[in-house]
Amino acid sequence: MDAFENLMAMLLRREGYWTTTSYRVDLDKAQKRAIGRHSTPRWELDVLAYRGSTNEVLVVECKSFLDSPGVIFRNGVFEPEERYKLFSEPNLRDVVLGQLGEQLYQDGLCRAEPTIRLGLATGKIASKSDREGLAQHFVANRWELYTDRRIKQMLEQTAEAGYENEIALVATKILTRNRSVEE
């Protein structure tokens, strides 16, 4: 969902990252064979965020799931796993993120050997046990988790900032100001 990806890109920019959405990683034939996908097109990443001061690249996969049960994570496993390939396939993750670092450097978009971290942004998580297990799994893997609660908090923090011509920021200011007047 482009709207959710754009929202996350905007929120990450407010945290000091340069962002782009729908970034494509070029894989050669050997890399495609290594991941078991011989005919895969370029690998698309939902949100790519770069912080120049630390040479850090954050790759955020976005799953809004606003009108669905949400992200399902039971017994340490995503359901269905194939929807979360970068999180559930270590070989795929290593190849794609390794090539991403090389490609960004070769294209002059970052310094050599950037630190690359994986993240997930979700608008909804299926249940409390899914939420707790997911949080523990992400901490253990040193991944970044943007839950619905965290995203809401990030949006609310934007209401304190000066005016910017961003739809989400304008809507947040209206919603939070009306709420405080009504209370």
User: Tens digits of per-residue pLDDT, 80-105?
Assistant: 999 999 999 999 999 999 999 999 99
Give the pairing type, strands 18-25 and 56-63: unpaired
Give the number of domains in the chain. 1
Measured in degrees and rounded to the nearest 5, phi and psi for residue 94 equal: -60, -45
DSSP secondary structure letter of residue 162: P
User: Torsion angle, CA of 37/41/47/53, rounded to 10 degrees?
Assistant: 90
Alpha-carbon separation of residue 34 from 7, 70, 86, 91, 97 (angstroms):
33, 31, 14, 8, 13
Residue 31: CATH number of its domain: 3.40.1350.10
pLDDT grade for 1, boundaries at 50, 70 and 90: low
Is 43's pLDDT higher than 70?
yes
Domain range for 74 is 2-182
pLDDT of 73 over the 90 cut: yes
Residue 150 neighbours by CB under 8 Å, 6+ apart: none
